[in-house]
Structure 1
């Protein structure tokens, strides 16, 4: 596959980003550094075009890397697969940090070294897993700095021609191809939840949702997935998705499977999860450390069950 070696000028977008960092939306003050991960809100390996935020701000379009922008510096961490590509694509506003080299500090170590105590580091908490947030937060705290969830995403605010969200239709997969019905999978998941005394299961990985619901989509090129979330309780199944993507075939699919999901807007997952998690009747909320910190933060700490989801394990059995 050919690599685009064209260098993209980033001065204007960096200036716009720094303007937002100095004057955050909603009157939230300012931050001293902003982290731009490569992830989407589902921590997917591959991205839809509108989620390529790190590529947009830096000009580097390799699949792995994290950008950090401060008031005066812009740095990109990436691994050895991409040193040559990044060196050709980054313009003079950027410093390439060769991850894995003995002389290259980690992101948290670099921030702790260059920022003054009391500094604030921002990141879109939807784009960072809890597994990544926790050690970064601990490291910055030990340096006297704070890690803050920033919303809305600042890159989205400066990306004037950001691609639209994918709108491809979702299609059902027949039982002959899935081996198990949705009802069978749901019953097995609820049995696992009862074993763990979990009242709610959070499913945010797109491949897990597609497998669990026996549905397929094309929101990400070459991946049969669609943007959505699922929450499973012992009584209900919540499906958060753009309803315009659901054809009559999908509705028939659920009826045939004797499953009646509560279909909610894609963006409603945070409010519904918060309400479920805070309910007095909820004992534990099962959520993977691979899910976004934005979701985890909605769950009281004493109710969090951080384990690989049962769907992940079921999906692995062939």
Structure 2
């Protein structure tokens, strides 16, 4: 099974906090930062790096803790405000982040002259600079500490991952490794830089046309790289046993523990990403007197601008995934009918297992893209809810089931959310669902001038909710890779994203609304940025962009208030559902095809 279920449940052992405080005292520290991060700042971490979960019990994909001699706090954003309460012990206080920053909290809770420890591999220069700017004027010292104090008390800590690396087909990537290296080298030369230090695994995998298996759900390999601007040559710092079955011509393979020594030998100007590289990278270069160029990872934008080969591949992956989703939704409708009639009990875990089985049945699934979210009733209001044996609950008539899931295929990564009525929905559920749908349609239909960023489109999805005094506490969309990370930067649809959207970028379109203790609603398709189709009225001097829809799965018509939709919105839904039927032709068995015809009937 791809999905695993935690049968323990509940918070971590509070005795671990006591042990950590003893370790801090032994090192002369008054506080320690415990991020949910590894040396590569990935959203997902290997079991070896799951320090935050081990210490606190919190299993979300973003957050951090601060432990002092007297207090412990865990910082999470709006996605996890419900989840964190059920996972951490009473001794740990949840803090609303980013409304409250680490440096502000420490300023309020530490005496002058205190010492705050941090692992120099787990924090970026940007994070450490913010801490120092706020706290050093009070004489509070920010201290790099190795080995990590949590590792020192984690006696059964898993070993670091050593998953095998494979080559990624050039016909799917659209460009070979040498061409990509030359492009990045040219970018560095144009910026007057001599080297780039790469620390993001998905950047390295994209650059070298490789994929790894160090992280569950994300086909990346842990390692570092240094690229030379003059030649495009790459030094790859990765355990040789990971690459035992492949050849990387033109790449100099070195052990990862050799990175710091290698940094000290560089000359000229070195590009380092302030927001993703470990603090120790910049500190090492600065200590050696080597010129630093703080600039974004040079692979980010080229990776985000998908080639036509990558777009064609991901379209094909979405069609196979769409067929699996249609089979699942038909199964779910049948199961829900039995629930409503009182003839069956269907649990959240049953839905997760059924969906993953439908995806596996196609024979092309390599992994799920993330742990499937299947939240019924009040669990749907927990944005990143993950069902366990301890939290599993039965579907009930009159409730909503929110299912957010995705697949990892060699030719693409999928991510889709559908909210399904179990029986007859009530008026409030229909009204909220329709508002979310209107926002999703607004983004899908958007046309905008070239140069606008995700923050410029984010309000389109929220406007129908705002008119009802409602909103949601997550971004409207995130970037998505092609058989890489399901959450890929730098492109996003969010209030804070200033990255211009460009042709080839793939983003999710997923507005939502969540009623705490009752239900949650989210509708998500993946879309790709493309040049907007020509219009007779268009200004020929102004380049316009639009979205191509990649996801082809029906939206629950039972939850749509047709009278609340404009003629254009109704036309979009009918055209989308007609497209679903057309794209799924020949991909479904007869019974599922008949179900799809009913699910996609015009409004």
Q: In the alignment, which of 101, 106, 115 is matched to residue 106 of structure 1? A: 101
What does residue 285 of structure 1 align with? 270
Q: Is the 8 A contact 1:288 1:308 kept in 2?
A: yes
Q: Is the 8 A contact 1:125 1:292 kept in 2?
A: yes
What does residue 279 of structure 1 align with? none
By how many angstroms is 1:216 displaced?
A: 0.5
By how many angstroms is 1:154 displaced?
A: 1.1
What does residue 295 of structure 1 align with? 281
By how many angstroms is 1:93 displaced?
A: 2.0
What does residue 72 of structure 1 align with? 70
Q: 1:72-151, aligned counterparts within 5 Å?
A: 72-99=70-97, 105-151=100-146
What does residue 238 of structure 1 align with? 235
Cα shift readout 1:189-222 (whole Å, capped 9, x = no counterpart): 2212211221211000110000000001111111
Summarize the Cα distance change of 1:99–1:311 in structure 2 as closer, same or farther, 3 Å threshold: closer
Q: In the alignment, which of 204, 208, 214 is matched to residue 203 of structure 2? A: 208
Cα shift readout 1:33-84 (whole Å, capped 9, x = no counterpart): 0010111110101111211111111111122221001111111111222222
What does residue 262 of structure 1 align with? 252
SS in 2 for 1:110: helix
SS in 2 for 1:126: coil
State the distance in 2 between where 1:38 and 1:223 align: 16
Q: Is the 8 A contact 1:197 1:283 kept in 2?
A: no
For the pair 1:7 / 2:10, whether they are aligned, the reply is yes
By how many angstroms is 1:225 displaced?
A: 0.3
For the pair 1:275 / 2:265, whether they are aligned, the reply is yes
Summarize the Cα distance change of 1:77–1:5 in structure 2 as closer, same or farther, 3 Å threshold: farther
Q: In the alignment, which of 136, 143, 152 is matched to residue 157 of structure 1? A: 152
By how many angstroms is 1:299 displaced?
A: 1.4
Q: Is the 8 A contact 2:270 2:290 kept in 1?
A: no
By how many angstroms is 1:11 displaced?
A: 2.9
**TM-score, normalised with respect to structure 1:** 0.88
Cα shift readout 1:224-254 (whole Å, capped 9, x = no counterpart): 1000111012344210011011134x21xx2
SS in 2 for 1:189: helix
Cα shift readout 1:74-114 (whole Å, capped 9, x = no counterpart): 1111122222222122213212223356xxx4321121122
**TM-score, normalised with respect to structure 2:** 0.47
Q: Is the 8 A contact 1:31 1:121 kept in 2?
A: yes
State the distance in 2 between where 1:23 and 1:298 align: 26
SS in 1 for 2:95: strand
Summarize the Cα distance change of 1:9–1:167 in structure 2 as closer, same or farther, 3 Å threshold: closer
State the distance in 2 between where 1:97 and 1:175 align: 46
State the distance in 1 between where 2:42 and 2:59 align: 16
For the pair 1:304 / 2:292, whether they are aligned, the reply is yes
- Unaligned runs of 5+ residues in structure 1 are 25-29, 277-281
Q: Is the 8 A contact 1:182 1:212 kept in 2?
A: yes
Q: In the alignment, which of 185, 188, 197 is matched to residue 193 of structure 1? A: 188
State the distance in 2 between where 1:230 and 1:124 align: 21
Q: Is the 8 A contact 2:268 2:290 kept in 1?
A: no
SS in 2 for 1:297: helix
Q: In the alignment, which of 17, 21, 32 is matched to residue 18 of structure 1? A: 21
State the distance in 2 between where 1:45 and 1:65 align: 10
What does residue 48 of structure 1 align with? 46
Q: In the alignment, which of 214, 222, 227 is matched to residue 217 of structure 2? A: 222
- Unaligned runs of 5+ residues in structure 2 are 307-603
Name whichever of 105-114 and 56-65 sits farther off.
105-114
Larger radius of gyration: 2
